[in-house]
Chain A
Amino acid sequence: DVKVTQSSRYLVKRTGEKVFLECVQDMDHENMFWYRQDPGLGLRLIYFSYDVKMKEKGDIPEGYSVSREKKERFSLILESASTNQTSMYLCASLTKNTEAFFGQGTRLTVV
């Protein structure tokens, strides 16, 4: 079974803090993605990565950055957290035939 693990289920951070969300997959997939999920908006793509040290902006990259130093790990970084970044964040890993596997999600609250 493919496992995609997100480091935290729930996080509460203060405005202006730097926040790291970690995602690890154990199936040697090249493609990894970060989405945020908000009610009525579905899943919106923040950033994705095709390979180590490669990253591409998704639809809503503003206020975020990513890091992919190792194939199995894809980190989402909020440089200076703001209240409008309160959301559910979902990491996904993709097989070569584009089947996606998701982590359990991190619910981030910025106060």
Chain B
Amino acid sequence: GEDVEQSLFLSVREGDSSVINCTYTDSSSTYLYWYKQEPGAGLQLLTYIFSNMDMKQDQRLTVLLNKKDKHLSLRIADTQTGDSAIYFCAESSYSSASKIIFGSGTRLSIRP
């Protein structure tokens, strides 16, 4: 079945860039998503990219998609303490009946 993988932890210094990586297996993925979850909260959609795009930028966030390698990344520029959270990569496709498949989440911690 479809699978989404990401590393569990990332630690960066405040002000540096964070890069969170994700790989997926479904070659028919339609949308790829990044969700953010702050402590005690539900998931908040940060950004998403359609599968025919290579890059999407939104203020401090840059999403890169390498469809050939099935690799997705999220870059957060000038990382702040408020960026501490768990970041989930996810993918959906019409072939998977519109289900959204999630990775295990990457916990981003910011050090001063």
Q: Are A48 and B102 in contact (CB under 8 A)?
A: no
Q: Which chain B residues border A48 with CB–CB below 8 Å?
A: 99
A33 at interface (Cβ–Cβ under 8 A)?
yes
Task: Please report the total number of A residues contacting B with Cβ < 8 Å.
Answer: 23
The total of interchain contacts (Cβ-Cβ below 8 angstroms) comes to 54
A84 at interface (Cβ–Cβ under 8 A)?
no
Selected contact of A42 from candidates B30, B88, B92, B98, CB within 8 Å: B88
Residue of A nearest to B103 (CB): A42
Q: Are B43 and A90 in contact (CB under 8 A)?
A: yes
Q: A35-B102, A58-B99, A100-B92 are in contact. List 18 more A-B contacts (CB 8 A).
A: A40-B104, A42-B4, A42-B88, A42-B103, A43-B102, A90-B43, A92-B43, A92-B100, A94-B100, A98-B30, A98-B92, A99-B45, A99-B48, A100-B43, A100-B100, A101-B45, A102-B35, A104-B42
The interface of chain A, by Cβ under 8 A from chain B, is 31, 33, 35, 40-43, 45, 48, 56, 58, 90, 92, 94, 97-105
Q: List 20 A-B contacts (CB under 8 A).
A: A33-B99, A33-B100, A40-B8, A40-B104, A42-B4, A42-B88, A42-B104, A42-B105, A43-B88, A45-B101, A58-B99, A90-B42, A90-B43, A92-B43, A97-B31, A98-B31, A98-B92, A99-B31, A100-B43, A101-B45
